[in-house]
Every structure is written in structure tokens, then in C-alpha cells.
């Protein structure tokens, strides 16, 4: 196969691992990675918590991939806005969608949109300096917050709320978030699960870290440590190593009694919110008590007659994410994914030629960063198998879509442009003893790339001096791609 032109949509882990697998296939290939923001790396930049810098190490692997002369970043370009899927199809042999799951699931209960009720995405994006969320506000003058959901995102949110703020100062947390958290009056956070402690989705390392935060006491009601037969059967299974370790952590909390000197994290189980109550803003949360029903590993939460209310001023729902439909592609609304078979986009049993998915938009929001490597490899294998069956016709690639993009887009950001933004962030951070101080407004980032901006003019294509191809192309020398780091494979 000669002169393969492949577009990847999304620059998070699954997109970069797809690029890695394509580059590693030893073919004559060109990869163009489209990204809506001027900054690459998706959730590794704007999802991984700032106090977990080690988990950001895959960025080094991604940087090496991006140094390939066969790789372009086409940043600050949203597929579906500046360029359509149909237009991309006319330019590329194949398109791999690696655009993640960008929506939060809703609880669909009264009061969900009251002031003081937030999504995990908003809060995580805010403390990580994502431009879409940097202007959100969270009333940290409140005493009590509730997090609905018991996965690792809930742990991240709770940890950022309760960690002594001085511990965050040397991280890459956004400055506005650090400032707001330093004035926080929160005393208590409740993490609420609709099922029991055996079914909680936390990984043990994250749970241990959260329950060991200095100045914070974690508590659990002893009644939740008394397990039903079905829960004991789940724990006895070899599939339940994480749940067993989690139960050891929960049991170690049984003796804890919160006192005045401590902030408190309270793990609550078998409760579902049924309404957020308040006039102008959230004042109380009403729960229904649940009981578990079903065979081991199939237990679901069923509501009982018992209700209770909790006074709280902040609510975060962290009950998982959902993909967003991509215009021109089929969509499974129930699962929030693009229907696919091994990464081939599937339309009612028929594969749509040249269209592929990987990552959360392919399998749903599960797994750790390293999970995406095998997932993307599967998709790339399917793609290469399909292309090998029919000799691909010539595809014009980026040169043919760039004029369209430039007519519609403000400023296309290349990988060398990103290097300028990256360098400036690292430099700003070093003055504050941080790994980087992120730019949180797109205008600030683009201004770095256009110092000779015409007075009063927009930062846009009119100010671009270089021919498009030169600006897009990565000018750096190729280097060997190192193996995946340990942090990507372990959580
Ligand atoms: P998650 O692990 O799937 O957890 C979602 C939680 O929400 C579960 O407790 C689930 O309970 C609950 N839930 C779902 N629908 C609900 C409803 N209607 N009412 C009440 N509760 C509901 O999702 P996540 O925390 O968003 O994490 C996404 C992925 O990213 C996971 O694979 C996670 O491990 C990963 N992640 C990893 C790290 C890390 O390694 N440090 C950090 C962040 C995220 P049920 O079990 O009853 O459905």
C-alpha cells in the first residue's frame, strides 16, 4: 500500500495510540490528527487530576509519536464545524474517530439544574484549566458537598476538594482553581453509591490515597460492612480482587469517628438521589434507600419506601460519561457510543467503508489510559486489513481540505505551534514552582503564535505568514518511539 492518507479525529490517548499503531505498521503513510482545541492530549491534559502528575507521563510517549515526519497536528479545528466528515472522506483513505465521551450522564431528577448542582466534567475541566470550563464558579463557601457516584472520577473530585491546598501548589492545577480552593470552607463531603461497598468502582490505590488525606477523617457506617450472601459470593470470586482490597480499606475506616479537628469524607451506600431541593439554589438532597436484588454480579439497586434528606450546598454528579453523536455516523443513544465491530463503524450490520472508532466513543467510558493502547491496535488492525483487500485509490489528504478549513477556521495550530504554547506554559509554571501554568483561554494561546497581529484585527488566518503546508508540517527530526511507560498500564 502506497501513500496512505489517514485522518484521526481527537488527540487524546486513543488517538495517539492509533497513530502509534499506524506508524508502526511500516507503511508509506501520512497521519493528520484533528483536534478542536489548540492543545493536544485530551483527558491526559484536562482530565487526569493535577496531583497525579505521574499519570501524565504518557504525554512523553505521545510527544515522540508527534515527532514523526509522517504526523501532523491539525489543532484548533473542530470536525463537524470547520470541516465535515463528508469533506474528510473525500480527502482520506480512512478516518479514525477517537473523540471520547464528552457528555455527563444525567440523573433525570427534579432540581438537577439548580444552582450549586454541577457535573463532574465541569469541575474537572475547571480545575484542569480547560478553556470551556475556566469561567465556571463553584460556591466553596458551603459546609457540605455531595458527590453522586462511586468511581475514580468521584475520588478525584473529592480529593481535590479535600486535599490541603498547599499540597496542590506545586502541581499544574489552574491558578483560578488554586485561588478558589484556598478560600474553601467545605467541612464535609459525602460520596454516595446506589449499590453497596462491594460494587463500588473505585480502584484500591485511589481509595487508599483518598482515605489517607492529612487533616481529613473518612467514615463509613458499620452496618454497610455486614454483607449479604450474594455480596459475600461476589467477594469470594477470583474476579473480585479489587473489591476485596477495597473492603479491607472500608473495614479499616469502621473505627473512625470524625471530630472537630478534621474535615470529613463520608462513604454512603444503598442510596439514590430522588430530588435536589432548594429555592434559589441547592439546599438539601432527598435520597431513597435501596436494597440489592439479583444473583451475584447481577445485583441491581431497588428503591424501598424509606427516604431521607441531607442538608448540602453543593452537588456533583459523577455517574459516568456518554459519547456525543457525530454528524454523518450512526449512533447508539442508549450506550452513548458509535456502533462498531472491532472498531469498524457498523450501520445495522454493514460496515461503513473507511470509517473507524477507538477509545471511549468505541467501547464506552471505561478503563485507564493504557487500556486505549490495545483498543486502538484492534481498530488499526481492522483498518489495515480492509485497506489491504482493495488497492486504495489516490487520496489528496490535508492539502485538499486545508483551504476549506482556513476559510472557516481562526488559526490552524500545528505541532510546532503547540511546542510554542507548551514552552510558554512551562516557563510560566517554573516561576511559580509548578510543572506548567496552563493558558486557559484560547485567545491567549493563539496570541502567542501571532505576535505581529494587525492592530484591531482578529487572531486568524489573515495574520498567517507561512504557506499552509509549512505551517502544518512538523519540522522536527523523527525519533524512536519509546515503549509505553509503567504509569499508562497501572492505576
Ligand atoms: P465509573 O467508574 O463507571 O463509575 C460510575 C459510578 O456512577 C458508579 O458507582 C455507578 O454505579 C454510578 N452510577 C451510574 N449511574 C448512576 C445513577 N443513575 N445513579 C447513581 N449512581 C450511578 O465512571 P467514572 O468514575 O466516570 O470513571 C470513568 C473511567 O475513568 C473509569 O474506568 C475509571 O476507572 C477511569 N478513571 C481512572 C482514574 C485513575 O486511574 N486514577 C481517574 C479517573 C477516572 P453502578 O456501579 O451502580 O452503575
Could you report the per-residue pLDDT of 428-441, keeping only the tens digit for each? Answer: 999 999 999 999 99
Mean pLDDT of all residues in 460-475: 33
Q: Which protein residue's CA is at the shortest distance from atom 2 of ligand 1?
A: 151
The answer to whether residue 408 scores a pLDDT higher than 90 is: no
Mean pLDDT of the chain: 90
Mean pLDDT of all residues in 161-190: 97
The response to whether residue 194 sits with its C-beta less than 6 Å from ligand 1 reads yes
The response to whether residue 366 sits with its C-beta less than 6 Å from ligand 1 reads yes
Integer angstrom CA distances of residue 471 from 41, 83, 435, 436, 465: 20, 18, 28, 25, 9
* pTM given for the model: 0.91
Of 200-209, 291-300, 403-412, 414-423, the least confident: 403-412
What CA–CA distance (Å, rounded) separates 387 from 187?
58
- At residue 464, φ and ψ (nearest 5 deg) are -75, 130
The response to whether residue 54 sits with its C-beta less than 6 Å from ligand 1 reads no
Grid coordinates representing 435 are 510543572
Q: Is 84 exposed, middle or buried (0-12, 13-18, 19+ CB in 10 A)?
A: middle
Integer angstrom CA distances of residue 181 from 39, 69, 173, 178, 310: 25, 43, 11, 5, 23
Ligand 1 geometric centre to CA of 291 (Å): 20
The response to whether residue 471 sits with its C-beta less than 6 Å from ligand 1 reads no
Ligand 1 geometric centre to CA of 262 (Å): 27
Ligand 1 geometric centre to CA of 195 (Å): 12
**Going along 312-457, which residue ranges are E strands?**
314-317, 321-322, 340-341, 344-347, 350-357
Mean pLDDT of all residues in 205-229: 95
Residue-by-residue DSSP string for 344-359: EEEETTEEEEEEEE-T
Q: Which protein residue's CA is at the shortest distance from atom 40 of ligand 1?
A: 491
Residues linked to residue 148 through DSSP beta bridges, in sequence order: 192, 317
The answer to whether residue 489 scores a pLDDT higher than 70 is: no
The response to whether residue 302 sits with its C-beta less than 6 Å from ligand 1 reads no
| Ligand 1 atom at shortest distance from the alpha carbon of 150 | 9
The answer to whether residue 372 scores a pLDDT higher than 80 is: yes
Sign of CA dihedral 240, 242, 248, 252: negative
The response to whether residue 320 sits with its C-beta less than 6 Å from ligand 1 reads yes
* C-alpha Rg value of the chain to the nearest Å: 24
The residue among 30, 123, 41 whose CA lies nearest residue 75 is 41
The response to whether residue 159 sits with its C-beta less than 6 Å from ligand 1 reads no
Confidence category of residue 328, pLDDT binned at 50, 70, 90: confident
Confidence category of residue 33, pLDDT binned at 50, 70, 90: very high
Ligand 1 geometric centre to CA of 382 (Å): 29
Q: What is the pLDDT of residue 261?
A: 72
What CA–CA distance (Å, rounded) separates 102 from 35?
14
Ligand 1 geometric centre to CA of 17 (Å): 23
Ligand 1 geometric centre to CA of 84 (Å): 32
What CA–CA distance (Å, rounded) separates 97 from 15?
8
Q: Which protein residue's CA is at the shortest distance from atom 31 of ligand 1?
A: 366
Instruction: Choose which residue among 149, 337, 488 to substitute to test ligand 1 binding: the one with the highest number of ligand atoms within 8 A of its C-beta.
Output: 149
The response to whether residue 156 sits with its C-beta less than 6 Å from ligand 1 reads yes
Max CA separation in the chain (angstroms) = 73
Buried b (16+ CB within 10 A) or exposed e, 220-255: beeebeebeebbeebbeeeebebbebbbebbeebee
Q: Is 184 exposed, middle or buried (0-12, 13-18, 19+ CB in 10 A)?
A: middle
The response to whether residue 151 sits with its C-beta less than 6 Å from ligand 1 reads yes
Q: What is the pLDDT of residue 465?
A: 32
Confidence category of residue 260, pLDDT binned at 50, 70, 90: low
The response to whether residue 106 sits with its C-beta less than 6 Å from ligand 1 reads no
Q: What is the pLDDT of residue 464?
A: 31
Residue-by-residue DSSP string for 246-282: HHHHHHHTTT----TTSEEEEEE-SEEEEEEE-SSB-
For residues 336 and 322, the answer to whether their CB atoms sit within 8 Å is: yes
CB atoms within 10 A of CB 283: 16
Ligand 1 geometric centre to CA of 202 (Å): 8
Q: Which protein residue's CA is at the shortest distance from atom 33 of ligand 1?
A: 152
Q: Provide CB contacts within 8 A for 42, sequence distance 6+.
A: 10, 11, 12, 13, 15, 100
Sign of CA dihedral 30, 35, 37, 39: negative
Q: What is the pLDDT of residue 204?
A: 98
Choose the most confident range, by mean pLDDT, from 157-171, 449-463, 471-485.
157-171
Mean pLDDT of all residues in 140-169: 97
| Ligand 1 atom at shortest distance from the alpha carbon of 371 | 32
The response to whether residue 193 sits with its C-beta less than 6 Å from ligand 1 reads yes
Ligand 1 geometric centre to CA of 104 (Å): 11
Q: Which protein residue's CA is at the shortest distance from atom 9 of ligand 1?
A: 150
The answer to whether residue 451 scores a pLDDT higher than 60 is: no
Give alpha helix (H) positions in 128-262.
152-162, 175-182, 204-211, 229-236, 241-252
Q: What is the pLDDT of residue 292?
A: 97
Q: What is the pLDDT of residue 487?
A: 35
Q: Which protein residue's CA is at the shortest distance from atom 38 of ligand 1?
A: 152
pLDDT: is 484 or 382 the higher one? Answer: 382
The response to whether residue 491 sits with its C-beta less than 6 Å from ligand 1 reads yes
Mean pLDDT of all residues in 63-78: 96
Q: What is the pLDDT of residue 102?
A: 87
Percentage of the chain surpassing pLDDT 90?
Answer: 85
The response to whether residue 246 sits with its C-beta less than 6 Å from ligand 1 reads no
CB atoms within 10 A of CB 278: 17
Ligand 1 geometric centre to CA of 321 (Å): 8
The residue among 29, 28, 31 whose CA lies nearest residue 11 is 31
Amino acid at each position: 500500500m502506497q501513500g496512505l492518507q489517514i485522518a484521526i479525529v481527537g488527540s487524546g490517548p486513543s488517538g495517539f495510540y492509533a497513530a502509534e499503531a499506524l506508524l508502526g505498521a511500516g507503511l508509506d503513510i501520512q497521519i493528520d490528527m484533528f483536534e478542536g482545541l489548540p492543545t493536544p492530549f485530551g483527558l491526559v491534559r484536562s482530565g487526569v487530576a493535577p496531583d497525579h502528575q505521574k499519570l501524565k507521563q504518557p504525554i512523553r510517549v505521545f510527544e515522540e509519536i508527534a515527532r514523526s515526519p509522517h504526523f501532523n497536528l491539525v489543532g484548533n479545528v473542530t470536525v463537524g464545524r470547520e470541516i465535515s466528515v463528508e469533506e474528510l472522506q473525500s480527502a482520506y483513505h480512512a478516518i479514525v474517530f477517537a473523540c471520547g465521551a464528552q457528555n455527563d450522564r444525567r440523573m433525570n431528577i427534579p432540581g438537577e439544574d439548580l444552582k450549586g448542582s454541577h457535573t463532574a466534567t465541569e469541575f474537572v475541566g475547571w480545575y484542569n484549566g480547560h478553556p470551556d470550563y475556566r469561567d465556571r464558579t463553584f460556591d466553596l463557601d458551603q459546609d457540605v458537598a455531595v458527590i453522586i457516584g462511586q468511581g475514580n472520577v468521584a475520588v478525584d473530585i473529592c480529593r481535590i476538594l479535600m486535599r490541603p491546598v498547599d499540597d496542590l501548589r506545586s502541581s499544574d492545577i489552574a491558578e483560578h482553581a488554586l485561588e478558589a480552593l484556598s478560600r474553601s470552607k467545605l467541612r464535609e463531603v459525602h460520596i454516595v453509591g446506589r449499590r453497596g461497598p462491594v460494587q463500588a468502582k473505585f480502584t484500591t490505590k485511589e481509595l487508599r490515597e483518598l482515605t489517607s488525606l492529612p487533616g481529613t477523617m473518612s467514615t463509613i457506617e458499620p452496618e454497610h460492612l455486614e454483607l449479604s450472601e450474594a455480596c459475600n459470593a461476589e467477594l469470594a470470586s477470583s474476579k473480585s480482587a479489587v473489591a476485596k482490597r477495597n473492603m479491607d480499606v472500608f473495614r479499616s475506616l469502621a473505627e473512625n469517628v470524625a471530630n472537630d479537628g478534621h474535615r470529613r469524607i463520608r462513604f454512603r451506600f444503598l442510596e439514590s438521589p430522588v430530588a435536589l431541593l432548594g429555592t434559589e439554589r441547592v439546599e438539601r438532597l432527598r435520597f431513597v434507600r435501596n436494597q440489592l436484588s439479583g444473583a451475584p454480579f447481577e445485583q441491581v439497586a431497588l428503591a424501598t419506601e424509606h427516604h431521607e434528606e441531607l442538608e448540602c450546598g453543593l452537588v456533583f454528579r459523577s455517574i459516568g460519561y456518554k459519547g456525543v453523536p457525530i454528524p454523518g455516523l450512526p449512533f447508539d443513544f442508549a450506550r452513548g457510543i458509535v456502533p462498531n465491530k472491532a472498531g469498524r463503524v457498523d450501520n445495522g450490520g454493514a460496515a461503513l467503508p473507511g470509517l473507524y472508532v477507538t477509545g471511549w466513543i468505541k467501547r464506552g467510558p471505561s478503563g485507564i489510559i493504557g487500556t486505549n493502547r490495545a483498543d486502538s491496535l484492534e481498530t488499526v488492525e481492522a483498518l489495515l486489513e480492509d485497506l489491504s483487500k482493495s488497492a486504495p485509490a489516490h487520496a489528496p489528504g490535508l492539502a485538499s481540505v486545508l483551504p476549506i478549513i482556513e476559510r472557516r477556521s481562526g488559526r490552524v495550530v500545528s505541532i510546532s505551534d503547540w511546542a510554542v504554547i507548551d514552552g510558554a506554559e512551562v516557563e510560566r509554571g517554573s516561576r511559580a514552582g509548578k510543572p506548567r501554568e496552563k493558558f486557559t483561554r484560547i485567545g491567549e494561546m493563539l496570541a502567542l503564535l501571532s505576535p505581529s497581529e494587525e492592530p484591531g484585527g482578529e487572531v486568524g488566518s489573515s495574520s498567517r505568514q507561512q504557506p499552509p503546508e509549512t505551517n502544518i508540517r512538523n519540522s522536527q527530526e523523527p525519533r524512536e518511539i519509546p515503549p509505553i511507560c509503567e504509569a499508562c498500564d497501572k492505576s
